[in-house]
Structure 1
Amino acid sequence: METRKGGTLDFVSLDFKIMHEGCTTAITNDLKDLVIRMLYCHPFKDRGYNWVVIEAKSKDRSLLGKYISTMKGHGKVKAILETKHNVKNSSVRLSLIEGYDGMISSLAYEMGAIQKLETVQNGEESWRIVLPAINRDTFFDLIGLYGKVVDFRIRQVDYCSPTEIGSKLSRMERQIVRVAYDMGYFEFPKQVHLKDIAEKTSLSIPTIDEYIRSSQRKILSFFIENFTM
């Protein structure tokens, strides 16, 4: 298998707003005081779904119940696994299974994104995605297929050095991420999958998955601490 040689991977930050057609976003058109944030997303492409945790907030608590009821009947939502209300800050968290196809989170995953921030209000999704610069143009070409893009800005992530980011990772995390990168795991389309990295490193697939996700969480934390939505 051919691997990438040398160099440092460059990242870009993509900020955009989109009227996402056919998504649960449209629910907020009728629930004007509702703000939704994606807290977590774990794609399962081979199974055709994403596991997502979202938080909905509103000063009008009656909207939270309406939101949950509408989500249960939405075609994109395969199942709601758990709901957790927080009376103090008038919010509810939902753990759910959504379809993989047609979701921006899925596209970001395919592009090797290391950061995804999403806020939804008044029928509009606001995104910040940090991904490898080599996938920037492809992402830009494809995102228009998901709906009307209201705004799209690209920024080079160049204010931090590899040393700053690398210091956040353990030795093993740096090693696994480098192997994954060299093998093409973060490219679009993916050249290899977790099982290929596991075979190369003689580690189990769950272990590889955890190292990569742990690294992504640490890198995500670094970017969030250095700039906001």
Structure 2
Amino acid sequence: MYRDRGYIFGSIEVKAPTANIIHEFLHKFKNSNAIKEIYNILPINVNKKIYQIFFKEKYDGMISSILYENGVIYQNDYIENNVETVNALIRNQSAKDLKSELSKIGEIKKFTLSEINYHEYYSDFFELTEQERTIIYTAFMNGYYSMPRRLYLKDLEKMTGISKSALEEYIRKGTEKIIHNWINSNIPILYSKDR
């Protein structure tokens, strides 16, 4: 997000029952006053007609910019039948004024706030198993990822009772999931033409 430049990089996944509906959506999307530029359209699954669109949109008066101004940590949008559903993770203190700010740019049909456990949320987001989460957390907190390394697999083996080969597998698979999800959620930033 570039408030000072007046735009936001974004990506959406589009799924439709037919290719014609996707083409109609893309035509409307490209001609929207909010969209400044479409960078790329990637087929995720052509058989299921799922595509990912990377774009630049205006900053002012957008849901994303309001969430950003309120300290959004994570945001996911879903549009169906001209109704946009937004799930966002924001800090507690920002939630109070959010509904009134969002209602200034459009009708809110339903607004729900609930508290979540960050640990559970990020575990779900990164799709880690309980064992991967526990091993990576323990390794990180005890210096496995530090430079210079303060903890080695043999030390982690003693702490957990899990063999070095199994620990290495948990760490590699978990790290791969974290990096994969991080990259997929940040592609517009990584491939920005302005960077």
Same fold (TM over 0.5): yes
User: Among residues 55, 76, 94, which one is paired with 1:117 in the alignment?
Assistant: 76
- Describe the SS at the equivalent of 2:71: coil
Gaps of at least 5 residues in structure 2 are: 124-132, 142-178, 186-195
Larger radius of gyration: 2
1:79-228 correspondence to structure 2 within 5 Å: 79-85=37-43, 86-158=45-117, 160=119, 167=137, 217=182
Q: Which residue of 1 aligns with 2:169?
A: none
C-alpha separation between the residues in 1 aligned to 2:94 and 2:29? 32
C-alpha separation between the residues in 2 aligned to 1:65 and 1:44? 29
Query: Using a 3 Å threshold, how does the CA distance of structure 1 residues 151 and 60 change in structure 2: closer, same or farther?
Result: same
Structure with higher helix content: 2
TM-score (norm 1): 0.51
Query: Using a 3 Å threshold, how does the CA distance of structure 1 residues 132 and 168 change in structure 2: closer, same or farther?
Result: farther
- What's the C-alpha RMSD, in Å, of the aligned pairs? 3.2
C-alpha separation between the residues in 1 aligned to 2:42 and 2:33? 22
TM-score (norm 2): 0.59
Tell which has more relative contact order, 1 or 2 (C-alpha 8 A, sep 6+): 1
Query: Using a 3 Å threshold, how does the CA distance of structure 1 residues 91 and 142 change in structure 2: closer, same or farther?
Result: same
> Runs in 1 of length 4+ with deviation above 6 angstroms?
none
Deviation at 1:146, TM superposition (A): 1.7
Give, as a single letter, the amino acid of the residue that structure 2 aligns with 1:153: T
Residue 75 (structure 1) aligned with residue 33 (structure 2): yes
Query: Using a 3 Å threshold, how does the CA distance of structure 1 residues 95 and 169 change in structure 2: closer, same or farther?
Result: farther
Aligned residues: 133
Deviation at 1:170, TM superposition (A): 5.7
C-alpha separation between the residues in 2 aligned to 1:169 and 1:83? 39
Structure with higher strand content: 1
Give, as a single letter, the amino acid of the residue that structure 2 aligns with 1:111: N
C-alpha separation between the residues in 2 aligned to 1:102 and 1:138? 16
> Kindly, what percent of the aligned residue pairs are identical?
22
Q: Which residue of 2 aligns with 1:48?
A: 6
Give, as a single letter, the amino acid of the residue that structure 2 aligns with 1:47: R
